[in-house]
Amino acid sequence: MNDTCWALAVAGALAVTGASSGPGGHASPPLASQEPPAPVELALPQGDGSPVITDGIFSPGEWDDAGRVPLSDSVELRLKQYRGVVFIGLHALGSASVGPSELCLAAPGGPVHKLHVSFQLGEIIVPPTGEPPPFRFGYTPDWYANEFRRDVDEAERLQKQGKSPLEIIKATSYPSDGIEFAIRRSKLPGSRWLVRLGISLATAGQPGGLVYPAGTTERSTDGWQALRLD
């Protein structure tokens, strides 16, 4: 992770939220005239057994057996499955950095599970209407991912020196190449998953965000990426 990444914790995550939500932070239903076409369904490759250690470091060999989908010049989606576990990677490209992000999952016609990754992991079920519940941090049934980590003692020392939150985050965050999810097949029924990503990014020193597939909302699975797990 480069020194600019944790501008995301302040601004980039807000950009992602703003890109997918309506007034008050709630997702707005897509306008009928603007509904995006759904991406082509992707069949997940069967991995060759190369283990993925969910530490955010895309080590050599971990993802060589995965399918790759470029989402932008800054981030690439990686996908594979092995022995009942689905692996989803968000790999930063070049000098870009991936920050706090969310993965929405659903089986066709089923509830939306929203998986959150930042300095903590958490999950909620997104209601179709009304106020969403608060995240249950530490609650990761049938999945795991790398938390973003930092040197807490050093952060406290810098805070006492009067450093700004952004300066502290930059100075104390440990390296990361992105986010690595490991999700059990038992998380959702059936062999077809629907996926939506809200990713915060820093590119060329500037914080921002990306929603994939573009134009989708977390309240409706219309236009989401379909994954075939057969």
Nearest by Cα to 115 from 131, 104, 127: 104
Which residue ranges form the domains of the chain, and what is each CATH number? 5-18+40-110+143-216+224-228 (2.60.40)
Low pLDDT (below 50) residues in the chain: 1-33
pLDDT tens digits for 77-121?
999 999 999 999 999 999 898 999 999 999 999 999 999 999 999
Q: What is the pLDDT of residue 43?
A: 97
Which pTM value belongs to this model?
0.82
Q: What is the pLDDT of residue 175?
A: 84
Q: What is the pLDDT of residue 11?
A: 37
Backbone angles phi, psi at 152, to 5 degrees: -65, -40
Distance CA 143, CA 56 (A): 15
Taking the CA atoms of the chain, what radius of gyration do you get in angstroms? Answer: 17
Distance CA 185, CA 67 (A): 18
Q: What is the pLDDT of residue 68?
A: 97
